[in-house]
Amino acid sequence: MQKKESIPRAALAAAAPVILGYLTMGIACGVLLVQQVPAANGWWCLLFSTFALSGSMQFAAAEVLKNAVNYSLLMTAVMALLINIRYCIYGLPFLRLFRCYPWYQRFFLIQNLSDETYAIMVSSRRHGRDRRNFMMLVAAFDYASWIAGTVIGAIIGSHLPFPTDGIEFAMVALFVVILVDLCREKSNRLPALIGGGATLIVIGLAMAFCPTFANKSLLLAMALMTAVLVAMRPKNAKESDQ
Amino acid sequence: MTLHQFLMIAIMCAVIILLRAFPFIVFHDATKKPPALLLYLGRVMTAAAIAMLVVYSLMSVCDFANPQYGRLLLMTPAVFATVLLQYFLRNSLLSIVGGTAVYMILLQTVG
């Protein structure tokens, strides 16, 4: 007879690579946040990560909060919307399944649908109570390691023993890293080109002709990018709209 | 922290929470199919938005208010280092630390 699998052990094994990744990236994010945002510290990162579980958003927040005077609330909202819009489809495979769970478990699972946790959850082949426990544990491990990472980073970041001029490049580096990984997939290359191109054109023109408008031109770049993407969507997608 | 910064953080958190909850609020009826445009944007927007952030964050390191285009020159090798590290070694932290180290050393010695 087959031995019954231990769900906590299986969840830890599935989450292990994500835990390592989240801890280290969280540390990088925490260091950047305390270096860039004067008010940030360990407690602050703890709260921020608890309520906004989104790595790329929190890296972008370093820039947005540092130069807060240049960003309106509307711009912040649109930026958050576009960076994270993929999350609004991550729930689709779980529409039925999550409804069987109590509301607090449902809420926790929904708010933990990050790229990595989503990938583990969606590929789990378990059923019933095992599946629920597995998903709750994976989500909890991932969530805790990201929060722990940012807090550790915030504590380390305020005691760095060398001059930190230029550390703001970590934000650029993170986005480059994500882009390199995305572009391994062919279907992402054209959208990436459109997004980068639209931003380059709009900000380039703004910096050349109207420098005071340059950092406010992001909204325009986002609008242009979205318009081009919508105009270029494949035909069959248009037909199945009805 | 100013009130404005506090509100910005609150908005970022609210947008993320609402986005994740969105399908569970809107598609109550699991038999109804979500619009194709939404599915399409959900698929392509990530790559586009991240590419936008690459360009935008490069510009913002140059400082919009007081543009220092020389920094673009220093950032070119750093971006190259990041891309090569990530493409071949696939270790995100190593690529970020490596690329940032290249930029910091260049900025603090040459810049």
pLDDT tens sequence across B30-47: 667 778 888 888 888 888
Beta strands in chain A (DSSP E): none
B79-106 per-position pLDDT tens digit: 999 999 999 998 888 998 999 999 999 9
A10 vs B38, which has greater pLDDT? Answer: A10
Domain ranges across chain A: 7-167, 183-242
The answer to whether B62 touches B71, Cβ cutoff 8 Å, is: yes
| Chain A residue numbers touching B54 (CB-CB < 8 A) | 172, 175-176, 179, 196
Q: Hey, are the CB atoms on B83 and A176 less than 8 Å from each other?
A: yes
Assess whether pLDDT exceeds 60 at residue A238: no
Assess whether pLDDT exceeds 90 at residue A161: no
> A225 Cβ partners below 8 Å, 6+ apart?
A194, A195, A198, A199, B48, B49, B52
Across the A:B interface, residue pairs with CB atoms under 8 Å apart total: 273
Assess whether pLDDT exceeds 60 at residue B9: yes
Of all residues in chain B, the one with the smallest CA distance to A118 is B20
pLDDT confidence of residue A241 = 44
pLDDT confidence of residue A90 = 83
Residue type, A145: S
Domain ranges across chain B: 69-111
Q: Hey, are the CB atoms on A57 and B12 less than 8 Å from each other?
A: yes
What's the mean pLDDT when you consider all of chain B?
A: 87
First to last CA, chain A: 52
Least confident of A85-94, A106-115, B14-23, B48-57: A85-94
| Chain A residue numbers touching B92 (CB-CB < 8 A) | 21, 24-25, 174, 177, 181
- Residue A52: Cβ-neighbour burial (10 angstroms; 0-12, 13-18, 19+): buried
| Chain A residue numbers touching B75 (CB-CB < 8 A) | 169, 172
What's the mean pLDDT when you consider all of chain A?
A: 86
Q: Would an 8 Å CB–CB cutoff place B87 in contact with chain A? A: yes
> What pLDDT band is residue A242 in, cutting at 50, 70 and 90?
very low
pLDDT confidence of residue A2 = 56
A169-209 per-position pLDDT tens digit: 988 998 899 899 999 999 999 999 999 999 999 988 888 78
Predicted ipTM? 0.89
| pTM as predicted | 0.82
pLDDT confidence of residue A240 = 47
